[in-house]
Structure 1
Amino acid sequence: METNSTQGNEPKIRKFVLDEDVKLGEQVSISKGTEIMVRKPGSGELRGLTLMALSQLDVDALHKLAPRITTPVILQNATMDPADLMQFGGEVMDFLLPTAAKQAASQTE
């Protein structure tokens, strides 16, 4: 996991590498080993989703959000390996956590 910061300590883009291919039906749309950039979602990208669903790593919510904030674009109806979906969800969760919560968690480690 890699981060890029544009302001202060908070990254606006996070990255992860796919463990497995992302497929549309039987066709590979994004090959394993591809680096996926995840952009911090704004209110527009979150429209129609609930923060509760995202915080629970709800698969449907993550699939709806993915095409809005990923490069290359992971399409909503694409099939992802559960480990890759978990990586994506982790990046989303990190964006949603308030800075104070992140600082408190890092102090307990």
Structure 2
Amino acid sequence: MTEQIAVAAASTIAIAIASFTLDGPVTLNGAEVIAAGTEIHVRKPMSGELRGLTINALLNCDVAALLTIAPRITSPVIPKGATMDPADLTQLGGEVMDFLLPKAAKAALPTT
């Protein structure tokens, strides 16, 4: 019975996903691992994926924090130690920040 409840509860959890298109390639050790123009899907991080990081660092778009969380929440996976265009890192940071802000904080932001 417990398994059925757990499965039912798990199936109702909505997973938030955002995406962006790479301006430049992602490279690892000088080799291209993800081509420019590839759509990267970013999944909302859950508490376990935030292990070893501070939410403050992610909200400040700290490069080390973003590069640490990237392999945990991206598809295709941006590998740890990868090099990427700063504009793409900024896009990733924007998506992560959007996921971490509470709904009330988003509602309080001015609209353009």
Instruction: State the TM-score, normalized to the length of structure 2.
Output: 0.85
Aligned CA RMSD, in angstroms, stands at 1.4
Between Structure 1 and Structure 2, the one with more helix by share is 2
Match of 1:3 in 2: none
Distance in 2 (CA, whole Å) between partners of 1:55 and 1:105 is: 15
Paired residue type of 2:91: Q
Percent of aligned pairs sharing the same letter: 61
Structure with greater proportional strand content: 1
For this pair of structures, how many residues does the alignment match?
A: 100
Greater RCO (Cα-Cα under 8 Å, separation 6 or more): 2
How far 1:27 moved relative to its partner?
0.5
Gaps of 5+ in 1: 1-5
Report the Cα offset of residue 104 of structure 1. Answer: 1.3
Instruction: Give the number of the structure whose alpha-carbon radius of gyration is greater.
Output: 2
Asked if 1:21 is matched to 2:13, the reply is: no
Question: Displacement of 1:43 after TM fit?
Answer: 0.2
TM-score w.r.t. length of structure 1 = 0.87
Match of 1:32 among 30, 33, 36: 36
- Counterpart-to-counterpart distance in 2, 1:24 and 1:76: 9
**Structure 1 runs, 4 residues or longer, greater than 6 Å off:** none
**Distance across 1 between alignment mates of 2:61 and 2:54:** 11
